[in-house]
Structure 1
Amino acid sequence: MISRNKLLFTSIIVSLMVPFILYKSWSISIWIDSLFLVGLLLLIICSIMILIEGDFFTAFIKSSKHFLYRMSKKEQVIRESEKRPNHTVIYRKNFPSRKNFFEIGILFCVISLTVSIFSFI
């Protein structure tokens, strides 16, 4: 489990390094842009965790295995001779740090959008 403080500190360090990697220079406006990008990346990571927890890909994997099982006569013969069942074991994955990724991602996006709006005015 990733602690909130460790994730926040790492994200701020990454947002300070991104301008040097992408733009080869550093300014406050470029840093605000990179802060938004890091926040967006954290939100995408959180969304992927939600998809994995919700067994979104399990249906695709099961249907692919079932299709390949039906197409392969050799596999059918092996399964029937060993008397193995067709269904497989389903594993549940739980990400306890998903909330931290979401909160810090939203915080970075809101801060960068707020600073961008007020600097434009």
Structure 2
Amino acid sequence: MKDELDNAVSAGPATRKTNIEVVTDLMEYSRFGGLAQAFVMDALAKHADRVATSDPEAFDTAFLSGHAWVGVAKEIKAKLDAHLSFVISRQIKDPQCPNTKTKVAAKWKCCR
């Protein structure tokens, strides 16, 4: 792990990955497998929810519109809610699904 961090830090601009490549790396190449995807999705959902319910003026800077920042958080939150509601509703319909009775299923209103 330390080698990976050292390589990431020492990589100069010529070898720097795009944000999409970094997120793809996080989602697809983890020694923890699919758990990494769950972690990334959970982090996105929690942060989007926090920002979406915040006062936009709290994010205003000379370079960033707080209203735009909150707006993008609301957009991402809506997309994640729709995606996760669909995924979980499919699991709820399947009595064999191991996640049917988990806290994850209870979190989403469509599954109650």
TM (normalized to structure 1)? 0.34
TM-score when scaled to structure 2? 0.35
The higher relative CO (CA closer than 8 Å, separation ≥ 6) is in 1
